Structure 1
Amino acid sequence: MRKIPVYYYSSSSNLTGRFAEALARIDGRRVLNLARSDVRRSEPSGPWVLLTPSYKAGNADEVTLPAGVRAFLRSPMTRRRMVGIIGSGNRNFGDYYQAAARQLAQASRRPVLFEFELSGTREDVARCADILARLDEALDDVRNAG
């Protein structure tokens, strides 16, 4: 069965990166860091999932989606192949917690598959890995039916 890759953005704090790397360790899933310019310039060849943090501390004018994610999503084909979103956030942001994932889900009409705080817990990683495994199966069933 083909495992859907996860493209993630992680800043120097590496909170999102730690979560992505833990997903990769659990089930061998491919994770690609959008902080790297070669990854941002690439285009997924099939379905993929975005893992993005939200950056917003209460100023409504601040942009919530990291620049690396925005750059990656400029390609219409990349946007079309995105099948879901995983959000990372900080509850200290109040109403803006998970704002990037939720706003992008609404704009793209793709589901938020999972949300976690900061770098998540082991339980968060396991639950997210289970959700991704079920998504892998569902997409595999669709491919096999076609």
Structure 2
Amino acid sequence: MSRQTPVYYYSSASGVVRSFAERLGRPVFNLAERDVRHTEVDGPWVLLTPSYKTGNDRNDTIPEGVRRFLRSPVNRRRMVGVMGSGNRNFGRYYQMAARQIAEQSRRPVLFEFEIAGTPWDVQECARILAELDAALEADGHAPAA
């Protein structure tokens, strides 16, 4: 069995993003927890971030826990993709955090879903991550477990 690429996510008190992450069936780590934010990853990983901006240009769309985790050059270098949770009611700010991070890091947006996601979203995201695991292993970036 190949290594499962872990997902580091940020979830607010609502737990919506945490619930989605935990349904993916792989190692997940909550960046809302201080001890997680202060770690450095030991291999490829994927970021799952919500977008909170609702129209105030002075408000930042990227959660502070995500921003702090990405301050580490090791974490930035080892990130292989970004996923986003958003709310279409946010208009042009829908998925903005994931898209900004992907653009700045030159990493792909692997998957986007609305709010808590549907069962199909969870299944499709898990499929995409399994394909990523296989590709990383084939490229020699992820040791076999």
TM-score (norm 1): 0.94
Which residue does the alignment assign to 2:83? 86
Count how many residue pairs are aligned between Structure 1 and Structure 2.
Answer: 140
Name the residue aligned to 1:17. 18
* Distance (whole Å) between structure 2 residues aligned to residue 131 and residue 95 of structure 1: 25
Q: Which residue of 1 aligns with 2:39?
A: 42
CA–CA distance in 2 between the matches of 1:62 and 1:97?
14
Residues 52-131 of structure 1 mapped to structure 2, 5 A cutoff: 52-131=49-128
Unaligned runs of 5+ in 2: none
What's the Cα RMSD here?
Answer: 0.8
- What does the per-residue CA deviation read over 1:100-145, in whole Å, with 9 as the maximum and x for residues that have no partner? 000111100000000000010000000000000000000000118x
Superposed displacement of residue 78, structure 1: 0.5
Distance between the aligned counterparts of 1:60 and 1:93, measured in 2?
12
Partner in structure 1 of residue 132 of structure 2:
135
- State the distance in 1 between where 2:57 and 2:105 align: 21
1:4 equivalent to 2:5? Answer yes
Consecutive aligned runs of 4 or more in structure 1 exceeding 4 Å deviation: none
Deviation at 1:59, TM superposition (A): 1.0
Q: Which one has the bigger helix percentage? A: 1
1:51 aligned partner = 48
- Matches of 2:100 and 2:35 in 1, distance apart? 26
Alpha-carbon offset, residue 77 of structure 1: 0.8
Share of identical aligned residues, percent? Answer: 64
Determine helix, strand or coil for the equivalent of 2:23: helix
